[in-house]
Structure 1
Amino acid sequence: MSSPITGNRYSRLSAIDRMMLRVERPATPQHVAGLCMVEAPPWLDEAGELDMDAIRDRLERRLIRVPELRRVLRRAPLLCGPPLWVDDPGFSIERHVHATPAQAPGDEAALLETVERLLRDRFDCSRPLWDLWLLTGLESGRVGLLFRVHHALVDGLAAIALITAFLDLEAGATDPPTTSWRPAPAPSGWALFRDNARNRLSKLGSVLAHPVRTARALAPTVGFVARLLPDLNAAPRTSLNAPAGTGRRLRVVRLDLEAARKVAHTHEAKVNDLILTVVMGGVRELMLGRGESVAGLELIVVIPATIRDTDEARELGNAVGALYCRLPAGEADTVRRLDLVAASTRDAKATQHLSRQTSTLMYGLLGWLSALGLPMEDQQRSINFQVSNLRGPEVPLYLLGARIEEVMPITVLTGNLTLTVAALSYCGHLNLTVIADRQRCADVDVLTAGMRRSWAELAVNT
């Protein structure tokens, strides 16, 4: 299948996709995940246990809706272009769908510890880069569903589209019929060579035939990079930036989505501004607890932003840019902080140019430096931490007839970022997952307490 994200005949990896592979280290696996809480399911066997053979059979039928999950990474020969995704001739659902009990006593803290342990392992690149875990032994008979996929395969928006297609929109949805699947043959080296040569000649021909148009298209990217260069060393030195180690601490802060919208709109802000304000309240208390001064301090936060068209949501690969915002850690008043955050994000959107050219240039450069043994992400001084926000389904989803009650997004730590927050809305809920380095952020509960306090102050003052 061709991909408009990459612009190739085959499903080639883009420069951003390849960067996700190159920056991966044993301590920083590059996969994104979603943890779903599923109501007590109707698909237990007579002993009340999971019948994994039956579950795998039913889930495999749904792969007809997500053929991407049967694809494996293939490296192209020399002069044959970037790597690509091809059908895995040895695909087996048993290698991807697993079950394990959560740690005792089965509460949220134990569940998150179990999830964190499962997320430490890197994928075997000889197989499709995803897996699904059913986590049992939870309170009230619920089951956890952990869906994990490599960041080289999808960005956040594509991951949501992928798992949504894998699930059902109705509790009583019938299983797709059993179908026989035959992998499409992988293209030959000669076919890849010709395809790569054709793509390169086409791009060169476009530049030569339309030099003025090409220059005009590149001008915003060049201007953005020129403005960005002075800020490469602009992030203040704080304890938030340190080499990330092995292991994470996961925490969840829950907001009511409709209440969040009301608070944000009352202050002429966006929900994303409210999320950033809540997070900054937690970061402020975290730094104060560590004895760091926050007086007049502005932290630089990167906010991933999609550059996908609406009809590209299900396409493989990454189509994401980034907004860089200066946010006030020194502002103690939460309402005033929201006003300042909203002004900062408006300025970032007005002055920073998001495009595929910009993203390809910046992420591609990081990937090449990592491949050359110069991992600049370990040394960067341009950002302090990351906050992402994705819009999930507004209607309930079902796993084999069992309702998914809530979803917690989990993303990666890279380089010298010891903290990131991922937000996701789903069916009236807005969950903020804190992902923190286990060694560097043993005090993560100070952060989450500050986030909850900031949300309560915003809600009561609206």
Structure 2
Amino acid sequence: MANRLSPREAMYYFLDPAGATSHLGALLIFADPAASSAGTTSPGAGGALDYPSLVSLVENRLQLAPRYRQVVRAVTMGLARPVWADDPDFDINFHVRRSGLPRPGTLGDLADLVARVMSRPLDRSRPLWEMYLIEGLGDGGYALLTKTHRCVVDDFACPEISQIIADETAEAVEYEPDLWMPGRPPGSGALAVGALAEAVSRPGEFIDSVITGNGVVGGVRTVVDSTVRRIGGLLADVTDAAPPSPLNASGSSSQMVAVTGVPRRECAKIAERHGCTVNDVVLAIISGVMRRWLLGFDVAAAITDTVRVEVPLATRVSGVTPSVEREVTWIDVGSPGFVTDLPVGEDNPTVRLAQVAGLADRNAQSSRRVTLGPRPLLAELGMVPFAEFSSWAFRSLGTRGYNVPLSISTIPIADRYVLGRKVESLYPVPGLLAGRALAIGVVEYRDRLHFGFTADRGVIGDLSALADYVTESFEELREAD
């Protein structure tokens, strides 16, 4: 039986042609290996990470996630969802690449390079991921950037590739050589026959497929039925829509990326002093960032009272994310979330923090505020019907509930190593979806909270300012009584 994309995977796969860019990834920064004598890198690492060694490592680890050697194959006339198929021409050197910065490269230079890489679409005739070894950082440092299409990543079946190559100890794990041979790629006729055979084996679904249709035959009926079945949920999105904001606009296909960090220990002191959680402090910092940005976006316009964000429910409700079978992750794509308001209209940082904590407590307990995140129309059918229509519906209705998606790691990440080289800093590179001008990710690594921003260049012209605002907002809270 064909290994079909799930309805949600198919939704993300089809969103790209509508102008969205469903790439996400991580940025791992390494220090100069000569600093190992000072204890900042792992002893015995053997110098900086070189390109051939990285290629060998990735090739050895791909056996842990076969999807990174597979391509997406569409089914004729949309008779079923696309399938994952082995890439007969898989070339590891196409996916693992080498790049550099003019020395000495700054963190801003690195962010600009990351933005250019993340703005480029992935080649859909190949597996949907890339990795870059970036040299030339100041003080002899270098970085690794991973870029993976959102449809590839699954919290349980397929982690993001940065998590596959990173080890918990300085001693790299080497698996037995993988004698991988690609399977024979299915032809268009075979895919169509397979789709029909699956339908015939389940007569009820076959009749539903013929009547409602996944392709041309049942298109109109599908659209009508989707509207009827989803009207309750979509109506809730519309009636409880987020405040109007340029953050829900799309200005271009070009992205900007910025990264920064603050000490986690100091955030914990702020939380203890005000009787709240570190995650409340993170939300308050972001509230201050959004307030500063809105004040400078249009000086003639009155600032809105709130910005609505989607936050992982696990940051507020213990036990939401299973911890036994699930590994620690810095790229979380499947957890349920809730939407809450950031009181950006409040000038006093102490009051703003108290309001953030109170709103998060209340909204995390409200079933109306819980969200499963982006979801496909008609998930019970074979695929996301009419890619352009589904993308339009997702953008125009399903995304009105909040302004900014915000991912926060709920478990601290301990030291990570790549071939014995310690990762000094680890930043998320959140994906930017249709109808969103900004996405924010926060990861706790090595007692620092690392912030990653991805933005639409056509809406947010100077994303580096937001990174500076993180420091300003943090200092404002630390100095508040």
TM-score, normalised relative to structure 2: 0.77
Q: 1:336 aligns with which of 351, 364, 367?
A: 351
Secondary structure class of the residue paired with 1:396: coil
Cα distance, 1:362–1:459 mapped onto 2, change above 3 Å: farther
Match of 1:259 in 2: 266
* TM-superposed deviation, 1:349: 1.9
Q: 1:279 aligns with which of 276, 286, 289?
A: 286
Secondary structure class of the residue paired with 1:81: coil
C-alpha distance in 1, partners of 2:470/2:480?
A: 16
Match of 2:226 in 1: none
Secondary structure class of the residue paired with 1:82: coil
Match of 1:30 in 2: 22
Secondary structure class of the residue paired with 2:139: helix
Q: Is the 8 A contact 1:103 1:113 kept in 2?
A: no
Q: 1:346 aligns with which of 341, 361, 381?
A: 361
Report matched runs for 1:373-392 at 5 Å. 375-376=392-393, 379=396, 381-391=400-410
Cα distance, 1:385–1:124 mapped onto 2, change above 3 Å: same
Residue identity matched to 1:95: F
Report matched runs for 1:34-49 at 5 Å. 34-40=26-32
Secondary structure class of the residue paired with 2:247: coil
Report matched runs for 1:279-358 at 5 Å. 279-289=286-296, 290-291=298-299, 293=301, 297-303=305-311, 309-310=322-323, 311=325, 319-352=334-367, 354=370
C-alpha distance in 2, partners of 1:229/1:292?
A: 28
Q: 2:388 aligns with which of 362, 368, 371?
A: 371
Q: Are residues 1:455 and 2:474 paired?
A: yes
Q: Are residues 1:415 and 2:434 paired?
A: yes
* TM-superposed deviation, 1:407: 1.0
Q: Are residues 1:406 and 2:406 paired?
A: no
Cα distance, 1:367–1:414 mapped onto 2, change above 3 Å: farther
* TM-superposed deviation, 1:18: 1.8
C-alpha distance in 1, partners of 2:258/2:336?
A: 26
C-alpha distance in 2, partners of 1:346/1:122?
A: 39
Match of 1:230 in 2: 239
Secondary structure class of the residue paired with 1:72: strand
Match of 2:9 in 1: 17
Match of 1:429 in 2: 448
Match of 1:60 in 2: 59
Secondary structure class of the residue paired with 1:57: helix
Report matched runs for 1:58-137 at 5 Å. 58-78=57-77, 81-137=80-136
Q: Is the 8 A contact 1:36 1:407 kept in 2?
A: yes
Residue range with higher mean Cα deviation, 138-147 or 433-442: 433-442
Q: Root-mean-square deviation (CA), in Å?
A: 3.9
C-alpha distance in 1, partners of 2:386/2:407?
A: 25
Residue identity matched to 1:336: V
* TM-superposed deviation, 1:147: 0.8
C-alpha distance in 2, partners of 1:12/1:401?
A: 37
Cα distance, 1:146–1:129 mapped onto 2, change above 3 Å: same
* TM-superposed deviation, 1:87: 2.6
Q: Is the 8 A contact 1:242 1:418 kept in 2?
A: yes
Unaligned runs of 5+ in 2: 35-46, 209-229, 315-319
C-alpha distance in 1, partners of 2:86/2:433?
A: 29
Residue range with higher mean Cα deviation, 244-253 or 309-318: 309-318
Secondary structure class of the residue paired with 1:170: coil
Residue identity matched to 1:448: A
Residue identity matched to 2:428: P
Q: Is the 8 A contact 2:338 2:371 kept in 1?
A: no
Residue identity matched to 1:297: D
Secondary structure class of the residue paired with 2:110: helix
C-alpha distance in 1, partners of 2:263/2:206?
A: 48
Match of 1:179 in 2: 178
C-alpha distance in 2, partners of 1:40/1:152?
A: 35
C-alpha distance in 2, partners of 1:174/1:298?
A: 48
* TM-superposed deviation, 1:226: 5.2
* TM-superposed deviation, 1:97: 0.6
C-alpha distance in 1, partners of 2:378/2:102?
A: 41
The alignment covers a number of residue pairs equal to 433
* TM-superposed deviation, 1:415: 3.2
